[in-house]
Chains A and B, each alone.
Chain A
Amino acid sequence: MMNRWRVLKRLLPLVAGMALLLSACGREDLSTLSPKGPVAQKQFDLMTLSISIMALVVVVVFAICIYVLIRFRRRKGDNTVPKQVEGNHTLEIIWTVVPIILLLILGVPTINTVFGLSKDYSKDPEAVQVTVTSHQYWWEFEYPEYGIKTAQELIVPTGRKIQFKLASGDVTHAFWIPSIGGKIDTNAGLGTTNKLYLEFPNEGVFRGKCAELCGPSHALMDFKAKAVNQASFDRWVAAMKTPVSMPADENVKAAFESKCLTCHAIGETNAGSAAPNLTGVGSRLTVGGILYNDEKSAEENLKDWIAHAQTIKPGNQMPDVGTDVKYGPGKGTTATGLTEEELDGIAKYLAGQKLEY
């Protein structure tokens, strides 16, 4: 037994080294291997523990396997019959008991973490409450304490528990911010609302994804989680509640109200939650969760999105007249039935919807 432990001790740093090497892989704001919050950290610790134990098992099996294959390969012309062994009780007990011990080492912290991570902070006044509703290919975030709603970009203060209540508006999705913590499904229907808490100790932007197949654009159902300090968060809440002015140009205003606000909401003009809330859309990092505003300007991205929504995210709810996109250089109207001028005006207006926080 002593020998076994010595081997284990010698192997552990090796395995830890491998884990370190691996943690260099992947984007800092996306990878589960670079945890950026205590929840992801606890999960990462369990991952490391289980990988270490399992690497040990793999090494032992591989070693025996390779030894056996080399040592006991049949030589040419060898016609001897090896000794027929029925079994060996000592050996069989060893390879039953040792795995059980390994599983105990893994099982105890597993149970601890299962219960630890399922804590509910819904009643905790220190925690920020967020209601998440998933829709076919976008995320809605509601802050019931502040009476505000936003979409695609989750804004949270650092250093506080964020308690999520999650459900779906249509099919099952899964809410996942890999570097902050593991995922949870968003189910539709009564009695299947889920709870999850996360913590964001540091400021930064973290990538979120949908992890459950939800239709054609499942792959593109990304969102961002932006952690800001408490003062900034308070300014953001205040800015979200500031009244929003409509487009100055009468034609653009008319088109915006009749074509966009039938589903979307902006500021106080809340038409419901059939589509993402547009308040402050110009200051978001992306348009539609996947068009990055640092690669192209927000105005360009918005124009692309409004014109080609179905090409960019197939099967989403933005209206489209068909796959033979009628929009293009020189064409009169876009897929949503806007004229070129209206499109430009709306994109410009929305890009100007910036929040100071």
Chain B
Amino acid sequence: MAAHAHTVKRYRGLMDWLTTVDHKKIGILYLIAGGLFFLVGGLEAVLIRIQLIKPMNDFVGADTFNQLITMHGTTMIFLAAMPMLFALMNAVIPLQIGARDVAFPFLNSLGFWTFFAGGVLLNISWFAGDIPDAGWTSYVPLAGPMYAGGHGVDYYLMGLQIAGIGTLLGGINFMATIINMRAPGMSFMRMPMFTWTIFITSALIVFAFPVLTVGLVALTFDRLFQANFFETGNGGNAVLWEHIFWVFGHPEVYILILPAFGVISEVVSTFSRKRLFGYSSMVFATVLIAFLGFMVWAHHMFTTGLGPVANGLFSIATMLIAVPTGVKIFNWLFTLWGGSISFTSASLFAIGFIPTFVMGGVTGVMLAVAPADFQYHDTYFVVAHFHYVIVGGLIFGIFSGLHYWWPKMFGRVLNEKLGKATFWTFFIGFHMTFFIQHFLGLIGMPRRVWTYLPGQGFDTMNAVSTVGAFLMGIGTIIFVVNVIVSAANKKPVADDPWEDGRSLEWSIPSPPPEYNFKQLPLVRSYDAWWNEKQKGNTEMPPAEPVGPIHMPSPSILPLIMSIGLFAAALGFMYDHLIIAIAGLVVTFGSMFCRSVFDDHGFHIEPEEQEKGVHA
């Protein structure tokens, strides 16, 4: 700790993690929290599958089963998948665009802590004994005050509302970061594909999440203050909830899958040693998918009774999405074509992704055929479809990205043998679990059923599916073992451990120093780092002289604000107005402090940079 322009208290150990505003550390926090929630959601999934292993099973009761499916869906989407994406975004985006941090480091930390507070709030419902049970879609009237007494659905509403604040802040932050913080020379059309997809995903977050906010507020008002948005007896409209939910919900699907597309683009390109095929059409396809993503929400509501005109229009609009998605698939295949493909764990997950996602995509087009959807809707066919896109797409993408960027994030390479074992168990388990569910749906098994009568032809397929779920569980456990084993391995990692790195993150140490780039790099082409290497350069050309680097100060306020919101939510739910108000005072008081007391930050001097301040 050398002399700084301003004296700023710098923490170590736990306090360091609670107060950090460094995007790399926040990325790790997102990964840990998201990973834990992923394990919780996975455990819920296994319990669901155990219940369904045989007809009329009584492993869990009907109530518990509905709680399990609700919490599984909500946890996996909002508390596992999204945070793990945010982990990769945080860990990689500033490095890829050659920036020292995100545009709003403080908000970045606030985003993490609000997400975490929301996630914890949702999950303490298990201990409160009042658990949401109306499905992750929480359709009214089932989720309304009349049919869902108790506080179960309140936990869902409050938890998602608070976690949603974090997500929205993240979306704004990353959009601003990518627009304003790119290194000199990095034009939009020189940005790595992962950065592009995160840019578009952030835009989707900014324009989709407020819709959910309003839906949650309206249902909260119905439940806590006897408002009538969805109370059909008092003029409310239950179908309105479906619209609000899916106007948010469909873009949400693309919020999830676009970053996975980005990861796959990077990994496929790196491990085949080839430039991404059709880069500009990839960018255009991403933008188009995002745009169309806002006009197809009613395909989740074909059977709601919107009439033939709406059903026809939304059918065609939905089918159109297949075109840009197909462009992406073929671009990946032709990136591999003529390449020199090495099969590492990261590239296995990316290669496994392509056929798996295609299968999820084609069933998506089948679902878009509205009259046929009258048969598929709310059956296991749909369950199979969205697990193919979300697990086979997104989770494969996340696993691929984690194996790929792990050295950059932690300075350790994950064990390849264990990585491949993870892939094969997870991949086989996945297809075993979900492929067969298509047929379960087609032969008449509705989704969200806690049990089924014998003699309907469902028995064998359900048993197979359950065995597959266990394999997926084993795959996940192998990954956790891999993390522990690799943490024990102290071997340092090269800057560019895959040797074929193409973007800027591979031009700096693994893990990078807290300021990332000693000198901001000058970007001279797409695949900047690869092209410099091809010219025989061993580092990026600098765009600025060496000098003191200004850093933002750590702050505990984001954590305190999130705790305030957490307390306020509990106060509102349980009618303790004093706690509710106290919580809000804490949160707004922190905002007040943040506004009044300027953060001057501190400087890291060149001599200290020489010593290498590691994150």
Chain A residues with CB under 8 Å of chain B are 22, 25-27, 30-33, 40, 42-44, 46-47, 50-51, 54, 57-58, 61-62, 64-65, 68-69, 72-74, 78, 80-88, 91-92, 95-96, 99-100, 103, 106-107, 110-111, 113-115, 117-118, 170-172, 174, 176, 178-179, 181-185, 187-192, 194-195, 207, 209-220, 222, 290, 314-315
Contacts and interface: CB of A to CB of B under 8 A. Distances in A.
B443 A189 contact: no
17 contacts: A25-B439, A26-B439, A27-B444, A57-B326, A62-B355, A69-B336, A72-B341, A73-B343, A87-B277, A95-B330, A106-B319, A111-B316, A170-B147, A182-B375, A189-B232, A195-B305, A314-B63
Contacts of B448: 213, 218-219
Interface in B296-327: 303-305, 307-308, 311-312, 315-316, 319-320, 322-323, 326-327
Nearest to A100: B323
A42 B371 CA distance: 8
A99 B281 contact: no
B47 interface: no
Given A30-B456, A83-B338, A218 B449 contact: yes
Interface string B122-164: 0000000000001100011110000100000000000000000
B176 interface: no
B371 A192 contact: no
B355 A61 contact: yes
A292 B277 CA distance: 60
B237 interface: yes
Contacts of A83: 274, 338
B377 interface: yes
B343 A32 contact: no
Contact of B340 (A80, A174, A181): A80
Contacts of B446: 176, 209-211, 218-219
Nearest to A186: B305
- In the A-B complex, the 3 residue pairs with the closest CB atoms: A182-B374, A26-B443, A189-B232
Interface stretch (B7-15, B357-365, B587-595): B357-365
A219 B449 contact: yes
A209 B365 contact: no
B578 interface: no
B139 A212 contact: yes
B355 A65 contact: yes
A65 B376 CA distance: 29
A170 B334 contact: no
Interface string B227-246: 00000110111110000000
B388 to A, nearest CB: 12
Nearest to A40: B375
Contacts of A51: 366
A219 B452 contact: yes
A94 B534 CA distance: 32
B6 to A, nearest CB: 47
A37 to B, nearest CB: 12
B315 A61 contact: no
A92 B335 CA distance: 13
A353 B293 CA distance: 55
Contacts of A57: 326, 358, 362
Nearest to A179: B444
A172 B305 CA distance: 12
Contacts of B307: 118
Contacts of A195: 305
A110 B375 contact: no
A329 B566 CA distance: 51
A130 B238 CA distance: 24
B377 A50 contact: no
Contacts of B379: 211
A184 to B, nearest CB: 5
Contacts of A95: 326-327, 330
Given A54-B363, A176-B446, A86 B275 contact: yes
Nearest to B342: A74
Given A54-B365, A192-B239, A207-B444, A78 B312 contact: no
B281 A314 contact: no
B93 interface: no
Given A82-B339, A170-B147, A213-B134, A32 B444 contact: yes
A69 to B, nearest CB: 7
Contact of B239 (A26, A87, A187): A187
Interface in B362-391: 362-363, 365-366, 368-375, 377-379
Contacts of A194: 305
B274 A96 contact: no
A68 B337 contact: yes
A124 B451 CA distance: 40
Given A106-B369, A218-B448, A84 B323 contact: no
Interface residues of A: mostly helix, strand, loop or mixed?
mixed
B77 interface: no
Contacts of A218: 66, 446, 448-450
Given A82-B273, A115-B308, A183-B377, 11 more contacts: A33-B443, A58-B362, A74-B342, A74-B343, A103-B320, A103-B323, A106-B365, A117-B374, A171-B142, A187-B304, A218-B449
A216 B62 contact: yes
B66 to A, nearest CB: 6
A54 B450 CA distance: 32
A88 B391 CA distance: 31
B279 interface: yes
Contact of B372 (A47, A207, A212): A47
A216 B457 contact: no
Contacts of B342: 73-74
Contacts of A31: 442-444, 457
Given A87-B278, A88-B334, A114-B315, A181 B456 contact: no
Nearest to A95: B330
Nearest to A103: B319
B78 to A, nearest CB: 19
A170 B378 CA distance: 19
A110 B333 contact: no
A82 B274 contact: yes
Interface string B23-67: 000000000000000000000000000000000000001110010
B383 to A, nearest CB: 12
Given A209-B444, A314-B61, A215 B279 contact: no
A22 B363 contact: no
Contacts of A81: 273, 340, 534
Contact of B442 (A33, A80, A113): A33
Nearest to B329: A61
B351 interface: yes
A119 to B, nearest CB: 9
Contacts of A78: 340
Contacts of A69: 336, 341, 351
B234 to A, nearest CB: 10
B358 A183 contact: no
Nearest to A219: B449
B487 interface: no
A300 B393 CA distance: 51
Nearest to A98: B326
Interface string B264-289: 00000000111101111100000000
A114 B305 CA distance: 12
Contacts of B336: 68-69, 72
A150 B333 CA distance: 58
Given A68-B333, A181-B374, A174 B303 contact: yes
Contact of A214 (B142, B304, B333, B371): B142
A43 B237 CA distance: 30
Contacts of B363: 54
Contacts of A115: 308, 312
A170 B233 CA distance: 10
Nearest to B448: A213
A188 B378 contact: no
A331 B119 CA distance: 48
A54 B316 contact: no
Contacts of B303: 174, 182-185, 211
